[in-house]
Amino acid sequence: HIETPEKVVAVKQLDRNGYQGNREFLVEVMMLSLLHHQNLVNLVGYCADGDQRILVYEYMQNGSLEDHLLELVRNKKKPLDWDTRMKVAAGAASGLEYLHETADPPVIYRDFKASNILLDEEFNPKLSDFGLAKVGPTGGETHVSTRVMGTYGYCAPEYALTGQLTVKSDVYSFGVVFLEMITGRRVIDTKKPTREQNLVTWASPLFKDKRKFTLMADPLLEGKYPIKGLYQALAVAAMCLQEEAETRPTMSDVVTALEYLGVTKVEENNETDNNKKEEGEDERLKL
């Protein structure tokens, strides 16, 4: 990054070679020039000179979600607490909701993953890297047909199989990242036993048994999370990860659910405190 007395910025130099790099540069400049939301990274400027392709963004002090979730040892970071994880999830969901439901025409992000969610000094998330973004279906069309792009493991099954892209493809990718945030596991981890290498495959049977939900919580949380909140968060992830695209929620439904999650978290903590007080009073009565 570059630091000046006026502003700190991050500079990204794109691959000089080939059509794809130039195409992604043009898409990114176009998208970030037209789209503005508190949960999308700001494009400060760009340079296209000869074969040079440079993008200049606002600098995000806390790097990416991946740094704080999946690369802790390498980056010497402390694990994110439950509240911060939910804050990041809600903000990232709000960014996708804007792309799908406010942007006109709608935009399909197509590369939603932890490394593309950047965090400012207060851990507010912003989506970055719009090079693969695609204008969504318009005029009564149900989907956009395109060459499959994105990152393995995060792609919705119907998109990976047919190349048919809808906003529900992003919803699936959100479910994958949200599950990474809850569990602290990578979507694909070849270091784990064979049955546990694919996060969604590992989680699918556990979703069906509430008694196993606590087994899915990131051990680095050390049990510091509201049980009701964990159940609700996993329910949201499971809904987003449904095989049939039509049955997945919209991102506005997800945002509403995550806002409710924040409210119930506080209420649950209050209930816990009240229960403790009542238990204490009962004990005194026994004495």
Establish if 87 belongs to a structural domain: yes
- List, in order, residues 6 or more apart from 279 with CB less than 8 Å away: none
24 domain residue, yes or no: no
Rounded percentage of the chain residues whose pLDDT exceeds 90: 56
Quick one: pLDDT band at residue 138, thresholds 50, 70, 90? low
Cα dihedral across residues 243, 166, 147, 91: positive or negative: negative
Average pLDDT over every residue of 102-110: 92
Give me the pLDDT at residue 114, please.
95
**Is residue 33 in some structural domain?**
no
What is d(CA 259, CA 93) in angstroms, rounded to the nearest whole number?
Answer: 10
Average pLDDT over residues 130-139: 77
Q: What is the mean pLDDT of residues 118-127?
A: 96
Q: Where residue 19 falls among pLDDT bands split at 50, 70, 90?
A: low
Task: Say if residue 16's pLDDT is above 90.
Answer: no
pLDDT over threshold 70, residue 139: no
Asked whether the beta carbons of 237 and 187 are under 8 A apart, the reply is: no
Catalytic residue among 49, 67, 111, 120: 111
Let me know if 111 is a catalytic residue: yes
Residue 245 lies in a domain: yes
CATH of the domain at 146: 1.10.510.10
- pLDDT tens digits, one per residue of 208-265: 998 999 999 999 999 999 999 999 999 999 999 999 999 999 999 999 999 887 665 5
Percent of the chain residues topping a pLDDT of 70: 82
How many domains, the chain? 1
Q: What is the DSSP string of the chain?
A: -EE-SS-EEEEEEPP-SHHHHHHHHHHHHHHHHH---TTBPPEEEEEEETTEEEEEEE--TT-BHHHHHT-HHHHT-PPPPHHHHHHHHHHHHHHHHIIIIISSS-EE-----GGGEEE-TT--EEE---TT-EE---TT---EE----S-TTTS-HHHHHH-EE-HHHHHHHHHHHHHHHHH---SB-TTS-GGGSBHHHHHHHHHT-GGGGGGGS-GGGTT-S-HHHHHHHHHHHHHHT-SSGGGSPPHHHHHHHHHHHHHHHHHHHHHHHHHHHHHHHHHHHH-
Q: For residue 193, tell me if it sits in a domain.
A: yes
Question: Which domain range does residue 258 map to?
Answer: 62-271
- pLDDT category, 280, cuts 50, 70, 90? very low
- Is the model more confident about 204 or about 27? 204
More confident call, 282 vs 163: 163
- Dihedral over Cα of 177, 232, 183, 211: its sign: negative
Q: What is the pLDDT of residue 216?
A: 97
On whether residue 15 sits in a domain, the answer given is no
Name which residue leads in pLDDT, 273 or 206.
Answer: 206
Cα–Cα distances in angstroms (integers) from residue 268 to residues 183, 228, 251, 275, in the given order: 21, 7, 25, 10
- What's the chain's average pLDDT? 85
Q: What is the dihedral of CA 259, 34, 29, 64, to 10 degrees?
A: -10
Task: Please report the pLDDT score of residue 22 as a whole number.
Answer: 79
pLDDT in the model for residue 279? 45
Residue 263 lies in a domain: yes
Q: Is the pLDDT of residue 21 over 70?
A: yes
Q: Which residue has the higher pLDDT, 8 or 279?
A: 8
Residue 94 lies in a domain: yes
Cβ partners under 8 Å of residue 84, min gap 6: 123
- The confidence score (pLDDT) of residue 282 equals 45
Confidence class of residue 86 from pLDDT cuts 50, 70 and 90?
very high
